[in-house]
Amino acid sequence: MQIIIVGAGKMGFAVANSLINEGHNVTVIDNNESVVDRGENTMDALFIRGNGVRVDVLKEANVENADIVIATTAGDEINMLVCLTAKKLGAQYAIARIRDPEYLESLSFLQKEMFMDYVINPERSTAREVSRMLRFPFVSGVETFARGRVEMVDFRAAEGDGIAGVALKDIYKNRKNLPQVLFCTVERDGEAIIPKGDFVIQPGDRVYVAGDVNTITAFFRAIGKGVSAIRSVMMLGGGRLSFYLAQILQNMHIKVNMIEIQPEKARTLSEMLPNVNIIQGDGTDQELLESEGLTDMDAFITLSNRDEENLMTGLYAVHRGVKRVIVKSSRENYSSIMKNMGLDSIVSTLNVAVNNILRTVRTRSSRSSAAVVRMYRLVNGKAEALEFLADNKMPFIHVPLKELNIDKDCLIAVIVRGNKVLVPFGNDTIESGDSVVIISKRTGISTLDEVIHLR
């Protein structure tokens, strides 16, 4: 596909790299000369220096033949104008990053009037992810599929939890009353493994399991990883992500304390979030944290714009015994360092944005009813979890899974039929209307029939 990206910041570069790796022709527009020079030297894409709103610049990028235009500049208004101009000039599809809470109420109207086909708000999406993570004090991520009916949760296996040191095929034989989830992926030494029945989980492995919400919760209780209620949260940083998260947590009846260093921003947040305790001060100051009751909090979440601040304050909270610590990081190379230091729960607005955009691009590129509906990258992008909607045009409908050829690097994790969530076995079938979740070590999959074939 011919794809134009306007704005070559962190998000623009990350999206461009991912799309190039999936075989798309990418053109990047940015008005910063040094950014353009760096891109030309490091990336297999066409770079154009200029203002992405200008007609002549978009025409130079061949916008009239563009399949997708993605506006990722720092300005919401600029991104809207890019989409409007690009669609008027002939682009087929337009994606805009819109982050300001001021646009929330009027977003549907703006999306229609400004010809934006898809809007992404990374901070708001990440806030939802963090709110899900708070349910389990021991997990580093919770992803949802089939409109929330299925969850995929990853946790670190430990001695004494009943699954470490046991072959997968024997786990349920030995414990017949253990709620049945699917073991989807295992991360070991930085590598992604799709486990078979003879695979033995070792202490320290990061394990991804999937199932319906109630079964997942019961499974963790059964292996001794209790689910505790979060009643109070302290957040570092008063940016957009903190604002969206505070709104969600208030609706969950969780007490929120937010620390913001800038006086003017703290005053504004106090007006916008009257039921949140806004504390104006330096959240990296240990004396301030202690005086505001850090050790009494059920969770501490670091959401400042500086990864170093998030890392250090997160480590301090772990040291002080806070049972749930979640750290925001914008750099993937920091993730392994943080995990080695005991910070397993890491969120990234950049990863959320890239995942959403890649899913949308794959859906557009397939032009098929079997296109990917939802996608998450696992193990630092070395595996993917993908959701598809099956229909009666697919040749493998009604055929038992044991009679199908399934890509050796893929696993059918869950089938959702109506309100019923199935962990599939060989005699199970895929039926029209099913939501099918697969795990794949092969990236770039756009349709379900790339994975499943008749023999």
CA dihedral for 322, 237, 249, 208, sign (positive or negative): negative
Number of domains in the chain: 4
Which two structure tokens, joined as six digits, stand for 383?
Answer: 């595996």
Please tell me whether residues 67 and 171 are part of one structural domain.
no
Q: What is the pLDDT of residue 406?
A: 92
Please tell me whether residues 218 and 285 are part of one structural domain.
no
Please tell me whether residues 12 and 107 are part of one structural domain.
yes
Inside any domain, residue 136: no
Inside any domain, residue 275: yes
Please tell me whether residues 216 and 244 are part of one structural domain.
no
The percentage of the chain sitting over the pLDDT mark of 70, rounded to a whole number, equals 96
User: Apex CA 140: angle with CA 135 and CA 142, to 5°?
Assistant: 55
Whether 306 has a pLDDT exceeding 80, the answer reads yes
In Å, how far are 19, 145, 229 from 386, measured between CA atoms? 17, 9, 30
Which two structure tokens, joined as six digits, stand for 130?
Answer: 């963090």
Please tell me whether residues 6 and 112 are part of one structural domain.
yes
Which two structure tokens, joined as six digits, stand for 358?
Answer: 């890649």
Q: What is the pLDDT of residue 141?
A: 82
Question: Of 89, 96, 91, 78, which Cα lies nearest the Cα of 31?
Answer: 78
**pLDDT range class, residue 323, cuts 50, 70, 90:** confident
Question: Of 7, 178, 1, 213, which Cα lies nearest the Cα of 91?
Answer: 1
Spatial separation of the C-alpha atoms in residues 276 and 269, rounded to whole Å:
9
Question: Of 329, 376, 339, which Cα lies nearest the Cα of 151?
Answer: 376
Please tell me whether residues 330 and 377 are part of one structural domain.
no
- Number of residues assigned to the chain: 455
Which has the higher per-residue pLDDT, 365 or 18? 18
Which has the higher per-residue pLDDT, 332 or 105? 105
Please tell me whether residues 298 and 205 are part of one structural domain.
no
Inside any domain, residue 125: no
Q: What is the pLDDT of residue 367?
A: 59
Question: Minimum mean pLDDT among 126-130, 291-295, 391-395: which range?
Answer: 391-395
Mean pLDDT of 17-32: 95
Q: What is the pLDDT of residue 174?
A: 83
Please tell me whether residues 264 and 330 are part of one structural domain.
yes
Mean pLDDT of 397-416: 92
Q: What is the pLDDT of residue 284?
A: 93
Whether 107 has a pLDDT exceeding 60, the answer reads yes
Please tell me whether residues 27 and 59 are part of one structural domain.
yes
In Å, how far are 33, 41, 58, 77, 387 from 48, measured between CA atoms? 9, 13, 9, 21, 35
What is the domain range of residue 210? 143-222
Which two structure tokens, joined as six digits, stand for 149?
Answer: 């009916």
Helix H or strand E encompassing 316:
helix 307-319
Query: Where residue 50 sits, what CATH number does that domain have?
Result: 3.40.50.720
Mean pLDDT of 406-426: 90
Q: What is the pLDDT of residue 368?
A: 58
Inside any domain, residue 128: no
Final residue in a domain of this structure, among 278, 313, 347: 347
User: Apex CA 50: angle with CA 45 and CA 51, to 5°?
Assistant: 115
Mean pLDDT of 153-172: 89
Mean pLDDT of 275-289: 96
Final residue in a domain of this structure, among 312, 347, 382: 347
Final residue in a domain of this structure, among 347, 374, 405: 347
